[in-house]
Each structure stands twice: as C-alpha cells, then as structure tokens.
A and B are shown apart, each in its own frame.
Chain A
Amino acid sequence: MRVFVLFWKINQIESLFTKSEALKYFARALAKSGRFERALEITEIIGELELNLDKDMALEEISQIMAQRNLILRAKHIIKQIQNPSLRIKALVELAKFSKEEDDIINAYNEIEKVENLGLKLNLLVELLKVLSDLGRRP
C-alpha cells in the first residue's frame, strides 16, 4: 500500500511543476533501485501530464543509470525515445563513456556537430573529450 499512499500524496500537489518534480524523483529512485520498467511507467505518467521536456529529462536520467550499470542495449533503446536534441546528445555522450564502442563515440560526435548553440556545443565537446581521454584515446 505504500506506493498507493505515495500516489495519493503526489496527487495532493497542486503545482504541475512540483508534481512533475516528484514524479521525476520517483522515477530516478526506482531506476537507482534497478526497477527500470517501473521507472519507465512513471515517465509515461509524466508524459500524460503533457510535460514532454520533463519526460525526456527522466528518460535521460534512466538511460544514464542503465549505461552506468552496463545495460548498454537497453540504454540505447531508451535514448531513441528522447525527443529533446540536447538531452538526447547528452545521453549519447554518457552512453559512449560506458559502452567504449567506436561507433557510439563517432555517433555522439556527429550529433554534437549538429548543435547550433555554441555554449551547449562546447560543453558537449568537452564532455566527449573527457570520455576519449578516459578511454585512453589521447596522444
């Protein structure tokens, strides 16, 4: 009944923003506990609130946790569902860090090259540089 109490409490929140924050927090906590399917069900609920960016943020976090646990294929599948380009690329860089696959690194790089916002592009390139360094791909 504990989850029932939780949903009842989340429904008490009037602000849509706070409600979404609570659901994102829950999705993250579920993913960290390894309950990925449950975490994805929560992202669907966030989607029902028509908060697509928040849904993407939750998906990005879940994909990161999956990648960190070496669940690379599942993480890739989740990343495909992320609509927001910056969040998707951020997730691709994180994926490359753990998959260590040449194709994933190149894919992340090609996606970064499409970014128009200079500040964001620089941040992503720097992250990729760190990934390449960690994988021993520096001179």
Chain B
Amino acid sequence: MELFKKVLGEVRAQLEEVSKYHKALNLVKIWQATHEGEDLEKAWECAHQEGYFDILVEIVKSLALENPEEALKKAVTINEKSWREKAYIEIVKKLSRDKERNSGIISQTISLIENKYHKALALLEIGKINEVLEIAKDVLPELKVELLILVAKKTRNEKYLIFALKSIKGVKLGNKDCFRKEIAKVFVELGNYRMAKEIADQIGFLDFQIEVWCEIGARDYESFRFVLENKSN
C-alpha cells in the first residue's frame, strides 16, 4: 500500500512533463489503478478536449464492465462516428461475457450502431452468426471476407474459411495476399496445416508467406534440430 502511494505520487508529479497525448493516456492508466471517479473525469475531459478518440474508446472499454450505463452514456458523446461505433462494439464485447444479465443494454447499444460492418462485429460478439452472415452478403467484398474469417475463428468451423477463399477468388481484391495470409493462419489455428500450406503457396508476397510458414513451423517442426544443424554447417 505504501509503495502504491509512492508510485502514484511520482506519476502524478511527472504528468505535466509529457506530451498532451501521453498525459491523457497516463490519466487513463491512473484511473484504471485508482478506480476513483475524479481520475476518470480528468482522463475523459483531457481526451475529449483534444479529440484523442482511441483514448476515449479505451475509457469506455474499461468502464463497460463496472458501469455499463455510464460507459454507454460516455460513448454516445464521442463526436466521430467511426470511433463512437468502435466504442459501442467494445461495450458489447465486454458485456457479452454475461449475455443474459446484460441483454437489455446489449440490444440498446447494438441498435445505436448504423454501419453494417460494425453492427456485424457487435452481433458476432454475442454469437449471432446467422445475422452476421446475412450482413456479409450485403457489404463490400473485402468486408465480406473479413467477416467470414471472423465467423470461422469464432465458430472454429472451416467451412467459413472455404467461403472466404471463394469470395477472394470471385472478386477482384486489391489485397488478396493479405486475406490469404489471414485465412491460412486460421487454418493453422484449427490444426489443418495441409490447407494452410496450400494457401501459403498461393501467396505472392514473401513476408506474408513466411508469416504463415512461421505459424505452421511453430507447431509442426519435427526436423527442427536437423535444419538448425544443417544451417550452421
């Protein structure tokens, strides 16, 4: 307890010495440690005044579990739509741990989300897979692939990865390799190394290909010692 007071004193004393952004960020961390309302308001005011939206979202996220109503009240005042909706998603994410108890505020929060993709992300948090898939039919191809990958992760069902792969093939995408990498990594997570390897071979960008190989190699490396020895010879 003594050390806590000592560290807190030092932190407070040094706050004015750093940039406004870091001051706001550290105020959030101070509040996360002290749980005092006054620290929360200071942090919120500072971030709100300067338009540090990432910090505002962080505050809403931290507040969501202990005081969901207050978190939502604060989220509504974020005056940049995309960040405001990110804050809503964070509230849903936190409250989804106890869906039954929080069903009212979860529905209220989701109803405030206008962007289809953001709404799908919130619905995914509460396991509304069919609704997410319905939205996926109606968004940009890139977002459709993203959503299918997320559904596959959530459900641990490979069929959505196959859908995602098909969606890449069917549509002209600027960043096919990045999506292939993401899909291959989920195949690794699901233990299907053969499929992951097949997709890795289709990736043109070497860095992405290596990322997938690293994930496969980390789990499946029977010849590791042999390779290391041969490398040094």
Measuring CB to CB, which residues of chain A are less than 8 angstroms from any residue of chain B?
1-7, 9-10, 12-13, 18, 21-22, 25-26, 29-30, 32-33, 35, 38, 41, 45, 105-106, 109, 118-119, 121-123, 125-130, 132-133, 137-139
Contacts of A4 in B (CB 8 A): 223, 226-227, 230
Measuring CB to CB, which residues of chain B are less than 8 angstroms from any residue of chain A?
1, 3-5, 7-8, 10-11, 14-15, 17-18, 22, 26, 29-30, 32-35, 193, 197, 206-207, 209-211, 213-221, 223-224, 226-228, 230-231
Contacts of B33 in A (CB 8 A): 126, 129-130, 132-133, 138
State whether A109 and B7 are in contact (beta carbons under 8 Å apart), knowing that A13-B206, A22-B207, A119-B22 are contacts in the complex: yes
Contacts of B1 in A (CB 8 A): 137-139
Q: A32-B218, A125-B11 are in contact. List 6 more A-B contacts (CB 8 A).
A: A3-B217, A30-B217, A33-B218, A105-B3, A118-B14, A125-B7
Which B residue's beta carbon lies closest to that of A33? B218
Q: Which among A21, A30, A106, A122 has the greatest number of chain B C-beta atoms within 10 A?
A: A122
Q: How far is the CA of A123 from the CA of B218 in the complex (A)?
A: 32
Q: Which of B10, B17, B221 contacts A38 (CB 8 A)?
A: B221
Q: Which of A35, A41, A109, A119 contacts B218 (CB 8 A)?
A: A35
- The 7 sampled A-B contact pairs (Cβ below 8 Å) are A2-B217, A2-B221, A5-B213, A6-B213, A7-B227, A18-B207, A118-B18
Q: How far is the CA of A69 from the CA of B111 in the complex (A)?
A: 39
Contacts of A2 in B (CB 8 A): 193, 197, 213, 216-217, 220-221, 223
B29 touches A126 (CB 8 A): yes
